[in-house]
Amino acid sequence: MTLTPEQNAEIELARAEQTPTLRATVPALEALLYQATPLLDHGFVRVIDYMGDDAAVVQAARVSYGRGTKRVQEDRGLIKYLMRHRHSTPFEMCEIKYHVKLPIFVARQWIRHRTANVNEYSARYSILDREFYIPAPEQLAAQSLSNRQGRGDVLQGQEAAQVLDLLREDADRCYRNYAWMLNEDENGEAVDEERQGLARELARMNLTLNTYTQWYWKIDLHNLLHFLSLRADAHAQYEIRVYAEAMLETVKAWVPLTYEAFADYRLGGAHLSAAMLALIRRRLAGETVDQASSGLSKREWQELSAILDGQV
């Protein structure tokens, strides 16, 4: 993904502006502010604005006048406690706003997280760019035989080449027809004076789902962490996971103590059912337990085995 000279100039202008403030700021996130992290072939994510920091989480939890304590270790301990016991409201006191450029099919998966404020680029008012997501060869996989939502083996040879050709051809053909129906150039002028052209809100329906769109996405820290716990997971679809992983880096810069607790208790942790916990206790007591006598379904048994690296 290459930003246009105009986009780069806009970013540099925004970064050059200095605005005095009494609000808390985070130097590590300030260093990233406005800058785009390239993703996929034409996408990006960048932080536009934020409010609060680790100390704001601590302050909200204590409902005090002070901003945290003078000892980082005390703030770390409280944030870990809040994360461990799923106290969500203190994390809701912090907010962040992203500018994201992403394929439409990723956006439709992403928007299922209904806890953010979203404003998307409107193809009713503007003409979408001629940019499409084409998977890298290593991401071109067959349907998984064991997971209806997942991928299996990577396609090889002639089949892979034909799939890539079809993706490019279909996207290009649909966009050419979209442009013809609009009968507009980039300045909104008619290309063919003899035709009126179709309304933008109707012409857009001809575009393929790998066409790129953009939006501003603002969310509080609690709901952002929930989004990232699902979308940065290894089981998430690759195309949305790369965005989540890039956003994790911004969280790490923004609220390092919260990120540390999140990585420990959510990303690197595991949720066990009462039946799973009972099974582990039986095993620790020396009892031999197999799947049939465990009280777990086959799927639950497999999931627990995966958590414990096959040690059940």
Q: Where are the domains of the chain?
A: 1-133+210-269, 274-307
The values of phi and psi at residue 37, to 5°, are -95, 115
Count of alpha carbons within 13 Å of 61, Cβ hemisphere only?
24
Quick one: which H or E segment has residue 180? helix 157-182
Residue 259 neighbours by CB under 8 Å, 6+ apart: 248, 251, 252
The values of phi and psi at residue 116, to 5°, are -125, 165
Is residue 293 packed enough to be buried (19+ CB in 10 Å), middle (13-18) or exposed (0-12)? exposed
- CA distances for 74 relative to 77, 89, 225, angstroms: 5, 19, 22
**pLDDT tens digit sequence for 274-290:** 999 999 999 999 999 99
Instruction: Please choose, from the candidates 304, 266, 309, 306, the residue with its C-alpha nearest in 3D space to the C-alpha of residue 282.
Output: 304
Place of tokens 């997501």: 133
State in words which class domain 1-133+210-269 has. alpha beta
Distance, CA of 104 to chain centre: 14
Distance from C-alpha of 122 to C-alpha of 211, rounded to nearest angstrom: 13
User: Which residue type, as a one-letter code, is found at position 197?
Assistant: G
Residues 204 and 126: beta-carbon distance below 8 Å: no
Residues taking part in catalysis:
231
Distance from C-alpha of 167 to C-alpha of 165, rounded to nearest angstrom: 6
Q: Quick one: residue 40, left, alpha or beta (phi over 0 = left, psi -120 to 50 = alpha)?
A: left
Q: In what order do the strands lie in the sheet with 212-220?
A: 37-39, 43-51, 95-103, 212-220, 117-120
Structure-model confidence comparison of residues 306 and 152, the more confident one = 306
Distance from C-alpha of 99 to C-alpha of 48, rounded to nearest angstrom: 6
**pLDDT tens digit sequence for 10-48:** 888 888 888 889 889 999 999 999 999 999 999 999 999
The pLDDT of residue 311: 66
**pLDDT tens digit sequence for 76-122:** 999 999 999 999 999 999 999 999 999 999 999 999 999 999 999 99
The pLDDT of residue 8: 86
Tell me the pTM.
0.91
Is residue 164 packed enough to be buried (19+ CB in 10 Å), middle (13-18) or exposed (0-12)? middle
50, β-bridge pairs: 96
- Indicate the average pLDDT of the chain: 92
The one-character DSSP state at 184 is B
**pLDDT tens digit sequence for 159-202:** 999 999 999 999 999 999 999 999 998 777 899 998 999 999 99
